[in-house]
């Protein structure tokens, strides 16, 4: 089991978890949804820097909070590495995962202005 946690402040209230291949397509728009996915990327809401930092946890463990699961889906992790990044494509974290479909579940304390977000991946490869 692996767990990565960090306080993140971003210019725009979005983070992306995407396959690290250069041709990965990002979701066209997020609208009012908490999270949306394309084939190789999931975008999800966080606080923008003017509202403070969001605690983002990425792990292969399920969330034990009573907060609701706000996203359940999968992306294609063709490279075997997914990157947590912001809208400027700044990479906060590169995570080794099995190549192929990667199941993702996301919980948060609020769908529009989350103080914390918990991202569960089906598997994280040991390095």
Architecture of domain 3-121: Sandwich (2.60)
Average pLDDT of the residues in 92-112: 97
Three-state SS annotation for 47-107:
CECCCCCEEEEEECCCCCCCCCEEEEEEEEECCCEEEEECCCCCEEEEEECCCEEEEEEEE
Backbone phi and psi for residue 33, each to the nearest 5 degrees, phi listed first: -75, 150
Residue 87 to residue 102: CA distance in whole angstroms: 22
Mind listing the pLDDT tens digit for each residue in 19-46? 999 888 999 888 889 999 999 999 999 9
Query: Where does the pLDDT of residue 1 fall: very low under 50, low under 70, confident under 90, or very high at 90 and above?
Result: confident
- Specify whether the CB–CB gap between 92 and 55 falls below 8 A: no
Q: Where are the domains of the chain?
A: 3-121
Mind listing the pLDDT tens digit for each residue in 71-94? 999 999 999 999 999 999 999 999
């Amino acid at each position: 089991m692996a767990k990565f946690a960090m306080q993140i402040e971003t210019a725009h209230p979005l983070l992306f978890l995407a396959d690290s291949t250069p041709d990965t397509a990002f979701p066209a728009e997020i609208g009012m949804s908490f999270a949306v996915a394309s084939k190789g990327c999931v975008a999800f809401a966080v606080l923008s820097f003017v509202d403070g930092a969001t605690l983002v946890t990425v792990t292969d463990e399920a969330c034990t909070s009573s907060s609701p699961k706000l996203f359940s889906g999968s992306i294609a992790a063709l490279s075997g590495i997914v990157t947590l990044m912001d809208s400027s494509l700044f990479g906060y974290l590169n995570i080794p995962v099995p190549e192929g479909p990667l199941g993702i579940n996301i919980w948060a304390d609020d769908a529009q202005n989350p103080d914390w977000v918990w991202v569960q991946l089906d598997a994280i490869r040991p390095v």
